[in-house]
Structure 1
Amino acid sequence: MPFRGSSSVRGSGLRVRALAGCAALLTVAAGLAVRAGADGAFAKYAGSALYTVLLCALVAFCAPRARPLAVAGTGLTLSWAVEFFQLTGVPAGLSERSAVARLVLGSTFNGPDLFWYAVGAAVAWAVHAGVRRGARLRTVA
Protein backbone atom coordinates (compact mmCIF):
# COMPACT_ATOMS: atom_id res chain seq x y z
CA MET A 1 0.00 0.00 0.00
CA PRO A 2 1.58 3.32 -1.02
CA PHE A 3 2.13 5.89 1.69
CA ARG A 4 0.87 9.45 1.49
CA GLY A 5 3.01 11.50 -0.85
CA SER A 6 4.27 8.48 -2.79
CA SER A 7 4.53 8.62 -6.55
CA SER A 8 1.47 6.37 -6.88
CA VAL A 9 -0.71 8.81 -4.95
CA ARG A 10 0.78 11.79 -6.81
CA GLY A 11 0.21 9.97 -10.12
CA SER A 12 -3.41 9.40 -9.20
CA GLY A 13 -3.83 13.10 -8.38
CA LEU A 14 -2.31 14.03 -11.72
CA ARG A 15 -4.73 11.71 -13.54
CA VAL A 16 -7.69 13.21 -11.68
CA ARG A 17 -6.48 16.72 -12.49
CA ALA A 18 -6.06 15.81 -16.16
CA LEU A 19 -9.56 14.34 -16.31
CA ALA A 20 -11.04 17.29 -14.42
CA GLY A 21 -9.27 19.73 -16.75
CA CYS A 22 -10.63 17.88 -19.79
CA ALA A 23 -14.10 17.85 -18.21
CA ALA A 24 -13.89 21.60 -17.66
CA LEU A 25 -12.91 22.21 -21.28
CA LEU A 26 -15.68 19.93 -22.56
CA THR A 27 -18.19 21.69 -20.31
CA VAL A 28 -17.18 25.10 -21.66
CA ALA A 29 -17.45 23.74 -25.21
CA ALA A 30 -20.90 22.31 -24.45
CA GLY A 31 -21.99 25.65 -22.99
CA LEU A 32 -20.80 27.52 -26.08
CA ALA A 33 -22.53 24.97 -28.33
CA VAL A 34 -25.80 25.35 -26.43
CA ARG A 35 -25.52 29.13 -26.67
CA ALA A 36 -24.84 28.99 -30.41
CA GLY A 37 -27.41 26.34 -31.29
CA ALA A 38 -30.35 26.87 -28.95
CA ASP A 39 -32.36 29.60 -27.37
CA GLY A 40 -35.17 30.11 -24.92
CA ALA A 41 -35.69 28.16 -21.72
CA PHE A 42 -33.64 25.15 -22.85
CA ALA A 43 -30.52 27.24 -23.48
CA LYS A 44 -30.94 29.20 -20.25
CA TYR A 45 -31.40 26.22 -17.98
CA ALA A 46 -28.86 24.03 -19.77
CA GLY A 47 -26.42 26.87 -19.20
CA SER A 48 -27.32 26.94 -15.51
CA ALA A 49 -26.72 23.20 -15.12
CA LEU A 50 -23.46 23.41 -17.09
CA TYR A 51 -22.30 26.29 -14.88
CA THR A 52 -22.44 23.96 -11.87
CA VAL A 53 -20.83 21.10 -13.81
CA LEU A 54 -17.95 23.45 -14.62
CA LEU A 55 -17.60 24.49 -10.98
CA CYS A 56 -17.55 20.81 -9.98
CA ALA A 57 -14.81 20.09 -12.52
CA LEU A 58 -12.78 23.00 -11.14
CA VAL A 59 -13.28 21.77 -7.56
CA ALA A 60 -12.13 18.28 -8.60
CA PHE A 61 -9.10 19.84 -10.30
CA CYS A 62 -8.18 21.78 -7.16
CA ALA A 63 -8.94 18.91 -4.76
CA PRO A 64 -8.26 15.70 -6.71
CA ARG A 65 -8.66 13.43 -3.68
CA ALA A 66 -12.11 14.81 -2.75
CA ARG A 67 -15.01 12.39 -2.86
CA PRO A 68 -17.63 12.88 -5.58
CA LEU A 69 -20.31 13.94 -3.08
CA ALA A 70 -18.01 16.61 -1.61
CA VAL A 71 -17.13 17.88 -5.09
CA ALA A 72 -20.79 18.05 -6.15
CA GLY A 73 -21.84 19.65 -2.86
CA THR A 74 -19.14 22.31 -3.13
CA GLY A 75 -20.03 23.07 -6.74
CA LEU A 76 -23.71 23.35 -5.83
CA THR A 77 -23.00 25.56 -2.81
CA LEU A 78 -20.86 27.90 -4.92
CA SER A 79 -23.56 28.08 -7.61
CA TRP A 80 -26.26 28.87 -5.06
CA ALA A 81 -24.01 31.46 -3.38
CA VAL A 82 -23.49 33.28 -6.68
CA GLU A 83 -27.23 33.18 -7.41
CA PHE A 84 -28.14 34.62 -4.01
CA PHE A 85 -25.34 37.21 -4.36
CA GLN A 86 -27.29 38.50 -7.36
CA LEU A 87 -29.98 39.70 -4.94
CA THR A 88 -27.53 42.38 -3.76
CA GLY A 89 -27.32 44.08 -7.15
CA VAL A 90 -23.52 44.02 -7.08
CA PRO A 91 -23.20 41.42 -9.87
CA ALA A 92 -25.57 43.46 -12.06
CA GLY A 93 -23.34 46.50 -11.68
CA LEU A 94 -20.21 44.51 -12.40
CA SER A 95 -21.86 42.78 -15.36
CA GLU A 96 -22.57 46.13 -16.99
CA ARG A 97 -18.85 46.85 -17.05
CA SER A 98 -17.34 43.42 -17.70
CA ALA A 99 -18.24 40.51 -19.94
CA VAL A 100 -16.21 38.21 -17.67
CA ALA A 101 -18.22 39.32 -14.63
CA ARG A 102 -21.42 38.71 -16.60
CA LEU A 103 -20.31 35.14 -17.42
CA VAL A 104 -19.08 34.33 -13.91
CA LEU A 105 -21.60 36.19 -11.73
CA GLY A 106 -24.63 36.73 -13.94
CA SER A 107 -26.75 39.77 -13.23
CA THR A 108 -30.21 39.01 -11.84
CA PHE A 109 -31.60 36.44 -9.45
CA ASN A 110 -33.75 33.71 -11.04
CA GLY A 111 -35.26 31.17 -8.64
CA PRO A 112 -35.54 28.27 -11.14
CA ASP A 113 -31.77 28.41 -11.62
CA LEU A 114 -31.42 26.96 -8.10
CA PHE A 115 -33.09 23.75 -9.29
CA TRP A 116 -31.00 23.53 -12.47
CA TYR A 117 -27.79 24.01 -10.46
CA ALA A 118 -28.85 20.95 -8.44
CA VAL A 119 -29.38 19.03 -11.70
CA GLY A 120 -25.87 19.99 -12.82
CA ALA A 121 -24.41 18.92 -9.47
CA ALA A 122 -26.23 15.57 -9.71
CA VAL A 123 -24.85 14.98 -13.21
CA ALA A 124 -21.33 15.92 -12.09
CA TRP A 125 -21.63 13.62 -9.07
CA ALA A 126 -22.81 10.69 -11.22
CA VAL A 127 -19.98 11.13 -13.74
CA HIS A 128 -17.33 11.60 -11.04
CA ALA A 129 -18.57 8.59 -9.04
CA GLY A 130 -18.71 6.45 -12.19
CA VAL A 131 -15.20 7.39 -13.25
CA ARG A 132 -13.91 6.71 -9.73
CA ARG A 133 -15.68 3.36 -9.57
CA GLY A 134 -14.25 2.40 -12.96
CA ALA A 135 -10.75 3.34 -11.83
CA ARG A 136 -11.12 1.21 -8.69
CA LEU A 137 -12.32 -1.75 -10.74
CA ARG A 138 -9.34 -1.44 -13.09
CA THR A 139 -6.97 -1.28 -10.12
CA VAL A 140 -8.45 -4.42 -8.56
CA ALA A 141 -8.47 -6.37 -11.82
Structure 2
Amino acid sequence: MKAKPILPASIPGAVPARATAAAAALVTVLAGLGVRSAVDGDVAKYAGDALYTVLIHTLVVLVAPRVRPLTAAGAALAFSWAVELAQLTGVPAELSRRSALARLVLGSTFNAPDLLWYVAGAGLAWAVHSRLRTGRGPGRP
Protein backbone atom coordinates (compact mmCIF):
# COMPACT_ATOMS: atom_id res chain seq x y z
CA MET A 1 0.00 0.00 0.00
CA LYS A 2 1.32 3.41 -0.98
CA ALA A 3 1.68 6.03 1.73
CA LYS A 4 -0.20 9.26 1.15
CA PRO A 5 1.93 12.37 1.17
CA ILE A 6 1.37 14.59 4.17
CA LEU A 7 0.29 18.01 3.01
CA PRO A 8 0.39 21.01 5.33
CA ALA A 9 -3.40 21.24 5.20
CA SER A 10 -3.63 17.67 6.53
CA ILE A 11 -1.45 18.40 9.56
CA PRO A 12 -3.72 19.03 12.55
CA GLY A 13 -3.73 22.71 13.39
CA ALA A 14 -1.82 23.80 10.27
CA VAL A 15 -4.68 25.63 8.54
CA PRO A 16 -5.88 27.52 11.64
CA ALA A 17 -2.26 28.37 12.52
CA ARG A 18 -1.64 29.71 9.03
CA ALA A 19 -4.85 31.73 9.06
CA THR A 20 -3.97 33.15 12.47
CA ALA A 21 -0.42 33.93 11.31
CA ALA A 22 -1.70 35.68 8.18
CA ALA A 23 -4.12 37.75 10.27
CA ALA A 24 -1.34 38.55 12.74
CA ALA A 25 0.94 39.64 9.90
CA LEU A 26 -1.74 42.00 8.61
CA VAL A 27 -2.40 43.41 12.09
CA THR A 28 1.35 43.87 12.59
CA VAL A 29 1.73 45.81 9.33
CA LEU A 30 -1.29 47.95 10.21
CA ALA A 31 0.14 48.58 13.69
CA GLY A 32 3.42 49.66 12.15
CA LEU A 33 1.67 52.03 9.76
CA GLY A 34 -0.46 53.34 12.62
CA VAL A 35 2.55 54.04 14.81
CA ARG A 36 4.33 55.81 11.95
CA SER A 37 1.31 58.02 11.29
CA ALA A 38 0.63 58.81 14.96
CA VAL A 39 4.09 59.49 16.39
CA ASP A 40 7.52 60.63 15.25
CA GLY A 41 11.09 60.18 16.29
CA ASP A 42 12.50 57.44 18.45
CA VAL A 43 9.11 56.06 19.51
CA ALA A 44 8.10 55.38 15.91
CA LYS A 45 11.53 54.05 14.97
CA TYR A 46 11.93 51.64 17.85
CA ALA A 47 8.30 50.49 17.74
CA GLY A 48 8.93 49.79 14.06
CA ASP A 49 12.02 47.74 14.95
CA ALA A 50 10.07 45.61 17.42
CA LEU A 51 7.19 45.18 14.98
CA TYR A 52 9.64 44.17 12.24
CA THR A 53 10.66 41.17 14.33
CA VAL A 54 7.04 40.41 15.19
CA LEU A 55 6.26 40.38 11.46
CA ILE A 56 9.16 38.03 10.75
CA HIS A 57 7.85 35.74 13.52
CA THR A 58 4.40 35.66 11.91
CA LEU A 59 5.96 34.83 8.54
CA VAL A 60 7.91 31.96 10.11
CA VAL A 61 4.63 30.58 11.50
CA LEU A 62 2.97 31.07 8.12
CA VAL A 63 5.67 28.92 6.47
CA ALA A 64 5.97 26.39 9.31
CA PRO A 65 2.64 26.39 11.17
CA ARG A 66 3.66 23.74 13.72
CA VAL A 67 6.80 25.61 14.78
CA ARG A 68 7.24 26.10 18.51
CA PRO A 69 6.94 29.67 19.77
CA LEU A 70 10.52 29.80 21.06
CA THR A 71 11.88 28.46 17.76
CA ALA A 72 9.88 30.98 15.73
CA ALA A 73 10.96 33.83 18.02
CA GLY A 74 14.58 32.72 17.82
CA ALA A 75 14.44 32.53 14.03
CA ALA A 76 12.82 35.97 13.81
CA LEU A 77 15.42 37.44 16.16
CA ALA A 78 18.31 35.82 14.29
CA PHE A 79 16.99 37.14 10.97
CA SER A 80 16.48 40.64 12.37
CA TRP A 81 19.97 40.71 13.86
CA ALA A 82 21.48 39.37 10.63
CA VAL A 83 19.83 42.14 8.63
CA GLU A 84 20.98 44.77 11.12
CA LEU A 85 24.54 43.47 11.19
CA ALA A 86 24.57 43.26 7.39
CA GLN A 87 24.07 47.02 7.42
CA LEU A 88 27.68 47.29 8.62
CA THR A 89 28.76 46.12 5.16
CA GLY A 90 27.06 48.84 3.16
CA VAL A 91 25.33 46.30 0.91
CA PRO A 92 21.82 47.00 2.29
CA ALA A 93 22.40 50.75 1.85
CA GLU A 94 23.31 50.24 -1.80
CA LEU A 95 20.31 47.98 -2.41
CA SER A 96 18.05 50.44 -0.57
CA ARG A 97 19.08 53.22 -2.94
CA ARG A 98 17.82 51.11 -5.84
CA SER A 99 14.63 49.67 -4.37
CA ALA A 100 11.96 50.85 -1.95
CA LEU A 101 11.23 47.21 -1.09
CA ALA A 102 14.89 46.61 -0.23
CA ARG A 103 14.81 49.71 1.98
CA LEU A 104 11.78 48.38 3.87
CA VAL A 105 13.23 44.91 4.35
CA LEU A 106 16.95 45.63 4.74
CA GLY A 107 17.17 49.20 6.01
CA SER A 108 20.35 51.09 5.32
CA THR A 109 22.19 52.22 8.44
CA PHE A 110 23.40 50.17 11.40
CA ASN A 111 22.04 51.33 14.76
CA ALA A 112 23.10 49.29 17.81
CA PRO A 113 19.95 50.03 19.90
CA ASP A 114 17.90 48.35 17.17
CA LEU A 115 19.35 45.02 18.34
CA LEU A 116 17.64 45.48 21.72
CA TRP A 117 14.32 46.41 20.16
CA TYR A 118 14.42 43.27 18.04
CA VAL A 119 14.69 41.31 21.29
CA ALA A 120 11.61 43.14 22.58
CA GLY A 121 9.70 42.24 19.42
CA ALA A 122 10.78 38.60 19.59
CA GLY A 123 9.71 38.47 23.24
CA LEU A 124 6.30 39.93 22.44
CA ALA A 125 5.79 37.56 19.51
CA TRP A 126 6.88 34.59 21.63
CA ALA A 127 4.46 35.54 24.44
CA VAL A 128 1.46 35.95 22.11
CA HIS A 129 2.30 32.80 20.13
CA SER A 130 2.74 30.77 23.34
CA ARG A 131 -0.56 32.02 24.68
CA LEU A 132 -2.39 31.22 21.44
CA ARG A 133 -0.75 27.82 21.14
CA THR A 134 -1.84 26.72 24.61
CA GLY A 135 -5.35 27.97 23.92
CA ARG A 136 -5.29 30.36 26.84
CA GLY A 137 -6.81 33.49 25.48
CA PRO A 138 -8.18 36.46 27.40
CA GLY A 139 -10.53 35.38 30.15
CA ARG A 140 -9.32 31.77 30.11
CA PRO A 141 -7.39 30.28 33.01
Matches within 5 A, 1:1-141: 5=6, 10-134=11-135
How big is the alpha-carbon RMSD for the aligned residues of Structure 1 and Structure 2? 1.8
Relative distance call for 1:6 and 1:80 in structure 2 (3 A) is closer
Percent identity of equivalent pairs: 59
* Structure 1 runs not aligned, ≥5 long: 136-141
Q: Which runs of 4+ in 1 moved over 2 A?
A: 4-11
SS of aligned partner of 1:42: helix
Relative distance call for 1:86 and 1:130 in structure 2 (3 A) is same
| Greater fraction helix | 1
In 2, distance between residues paired with 1:45 and 1:61?
A: 24
The residue number in structure 1 matching 2:139 is none
Q: Any idea what the Cα deviations from partners look like across 1:72-92, whole Å, max 9, x if unmatched?
A: 000000000000000000110
Alpha-carbon offset, residue 96 of structure 1? 1.1
Q: Normalising by the residue count of structure 2, what TM-score does the alignment of the two structures yield? A: 0.89
Alpha-carbon offset, residue 10 of structure 1? 2.6
In 2, distance between residues paired with 1:60 and 1:54?
A: 10
Pairs aligned (count): 132
Q: Normalising by the residue count of structure 1, what TM-score does the alignment of the two structures yield? A: 0.89
In 2, distance between residues paired with 1:66 and 1:8?
A: 15
Write the letter of the residue equivalent to 1:57.
Answer: T
The residue number in structure 2 matching 1:139 is none
SS of aligned partner of 2:110: coil
Q: Any idea what the Cα deviations from partners look like across 1:85-139, whole Å, max 9, x if unmatched?
A: 000001101111111110000000000000000000000000000001117xxxx
